[in-house]
Structure 1
Amino acid sequence: MEQKFPLPPFSLEDAIEKIQKAEDAWNSKNPEKIAKAYAIDSAWRNRDTFVNGREDIINFLTKKWEKELNYKLKKEYWAHTSNRIAVRFEYEYQTKAGNWFRAYGNENWEFDENGLMTKRFASINDLEITEHERILK
């Protein structure tokens, strides 16, 4: 049985650890590695896109980082319950045309008893910035 520690029920320390592990994984930009933190049938809403299952997650992330170059993410604890965590995040990326953006958003996560994420709901807004306005390097 696959497990991703820490497991629910989450303490504050567990929630913060889970968030840091997610940030580190996403900053690796390795879709296969990232997908292992999600349940086989994990369901996402990412902006206007609905993603279901690990294969879709891998495809989604692969396409994401083909368009979002020089990606850097920072996640921050917002709240948690025994098996849910809410985070606030921001990330920066550059387009193929050379334009820089900072994305701001919130995510709501739900986990199964094995610590795998079963649901991820993300609301995200992008702001065009100059290279000099970057804060995540």
Structure 2
Amino acid sequence: MSRPPLPPFDAETAALKVRKAEDAWNGRSPEQVSLAYTPDSQWRNRAEIFSGRDRIVAFLSRKWAREHDYRLIKELWAYTGDRIAVRFAYEYHDDSGSWFRAYGNENWEFASDGLMRRRLASINDLPIAEDQRLFHWPRGPRPQDHPGLSALGL
């Protein structure tokens, strides 16, 4: 199985890889998202460190069970060879209805088949009022005409 675009990346293929990842995460299907990673993919997400697709599915299932109305925007930061650096922001609310915007950076490393073999994420949550939300679209991928992070001033 391969997951184009494949490394080595150029500006166009790196940006496409980022958008495909964003679209998948906005679909919020842990099983589908996990297929973009190698079976032994290594993850660091905040304080959690783990590897393997089963652990990815479990992690994402827990995440999206507590982060309601999740909307994510990713933006290419840098790329070289088999690596991509991404900055992102996402908005969600918890069970009590409190809204947050999470900001972060990810470093990705890919196998030659285009599957991600390493994902390192650093994330900070900022409480926001509901009227401060900027990510408004129906569940699923961000519409092509919705502004990205830079256009939103983030």
- 1:51, distance to aligned residue in structure 2 (A): 2.2
Matching of residue 107 in structure 1 with residue 127 in structure 2: no
Q: Distance in 2 between matches of 1:122 and 1:104?
A: 10
Q: Secondary structure at the match of 1:22?
A: helix
For residues 135 and 123 of structure 2, the distance between their equivalents in structure 1, rounded to whole angstroms, comes to 17
Letter in 1 for 2:104: G
Task: Output the amino acid matched with 2:35.
Answer: K
Cα distance in 1 for partners of 2:8, 2:75 equals 19
Q: Tell me if structure 2 keeps the 8 A contact 1:39–1:117.
A: yes
Which residue in 1 is equivalent to 2:63?
A: 64
Amino acid at match of 2:30: P
CA distance in 2, matches of 1:52, 1:93: 25
% same residue: 55
Partner of 1:80: 79
Match of 2:30 in 1: 31
What residue is the counterpart of 1:98 in the other structure?
Answer: 97
User: What amino acid maps onto 1:95 in structure 2?
Assistant: D
Q: In the aligned structure 2, how far is the partner of 1:136 from the partner of 1:47?
A: 23
| RMSD (Å) for aligned C-alpha atoms | 0.4
Report the TM-score, using the length of structure 2 for normalisation.
0.88
Displaced runs of 4+ in structure 1, greater than 6 A? none
* Corresponding residue for residue 135 of structure 1: 134
Q: Distance in 1 between matches of 2:31 and 2:12?
A: 26
Structure 1 or 2: more strand by fraction:
1
Aligned-partner Cα distance in 2 for 1:106–1:58: 21
Aligned residue number for residue 142 of structure 2:
none
1:51 aligns with 2:81: no
Output one character per residue of 1:10-69: Cα deviation in whole Å (capped at 9) or x when no partner: 111000000000000000000010000000000000000012100000000000001000
Structure 1 stretches of 5 or more lacking a match?
none
> Aligned partners of 1:104 and 1:16: how far apart in 2?
19
Query: CA separation in 2, counterparts of 1:55 and 1:85?
Result: 24
> How many pairs are equivalent?
136
